[in-house]
Structure 1
Amino acid sequence: MGTDTLTKPDVVIRGRKVVGGVSEGEAMVTSQTISGWGGVNPMKGEIIESHHELRGQSFAGKILVFPGAKGSSGWSGVFHTTRLTGKAPLGMLFNIMTTKVALGCVVLRVPTMTDFDSDPLEQIETGDWVRIDADEGVVSIWKGGRRP
């Protein structure tokens, strides 16, 4: 018999490691940049920024897919606090590299990638199951929350 097709990802994209490691979980996707200072409640991992499409939702325990960071250098401090409070994302995928997002990823210590061969914002939807293997530079996506 052949390989079980339920274990094969629907989409695979490749990118560059920012922080190594392997992580998987449900995706939370936003097309809007995220402000750390004043935009996230680090005690809940919740987006609190006014007018943000994810306002009131928590990224705790999810794979966060977003364009990049905005705002001040407080971004890294806020995301570091989410790690300390146990409300951090399991991993992050983003498109726009800045010093604030780079430092935030390092202090967060979760598998993180950027510089993709295909835009993750176009390939991944909220609720999809995502596996990040940052060491290998591979993101595997199972659509509709279907798990491997």
Structure 2
Amino acid sequence: MENTVKCRRISRGKVKGQVIVTREPLSFLGGVDPNTGRVIDQEHELYHQNLKDKILVIPSGKGSTVGSYVIYQMAKNQTAPRGIVALEAEPIIATGAIMAGVPMVDHPEMDVLSVLENGDQLELDADLETIKIIKK
């Protein structure tokens, strides 16, 4: 099944890859190890999973403004997500994605959290403001 969904561009770029989905907001400061890309927040549903080279699908981010710099550090360490899709991009993750050069969109025209599962493939084209869902 393929489905193209309109979104709003936050950070430019085009990527394709496997998604990692969470229905919980994610804090990068204290929630993700920038050296490995692993989620280290023991209370989060993605605990122990790795964001590296995945397209992260989240409802939103949360936490301290330093989270932007964690995303930037992840990009420098080559442990950052390949792209980010958020239902609502709050300023912390949006700023981090822009600084790190990670393609990001938000406001998808459908509830992607109810459709996507870990392992699905996604084409994120922030320049065209679309995502293409390719079910596994």
Give the alignment's TM-score, normalised by structure 2: 0.95
AA at the equivalent of 1:133: D
Describe how 1:26-37 pairs up with structure 2 within 5 A.
26-37=18-29
Percent same amino acid among aligned pairs?
Answer: 32
What are the superposed Cα offsets for residues 32-76 of structure 1, whole Å, 9 maximum, x if unpaired?
111111111000111101211100010100100011111111110
Describe how 1:108-147 pairs up with structure 2 within 5 A.
108-144=100-136
1:64 is aligned, of 56, 69, 77, to 56
AA at the equivalent of 2:20: M
Contact 2:25 2:62 in 1 (8 A): yes
User: After the TM superposition, which segments of 4 or more aligned residues of structure 1 sit over 4 Å from their partners?
Assistant: none
Counterpart in the other structure of 1:107: 99
Give the alignment's TM-score, normalised by structure 1: 0.88
- Where does structure 1 lack aligned partners over 5 or more consecutive residues? 1-8
Contact 2:94 2:104 in 1 (8 A): no
What are the superposed Cα offsets for residues 75-127 of structure 1, whole Å, 9 maximum, x if unpaired?
10111111010001110000122221221111121211001111221222110
1:25 is aligned, of 3, 7, 17, to 17
Counterpart in the other structure of 2:67: 75
Residue 73 of structure 2 corresponds to residue 84 of structure 1? no
Aligned residues, how many?
136
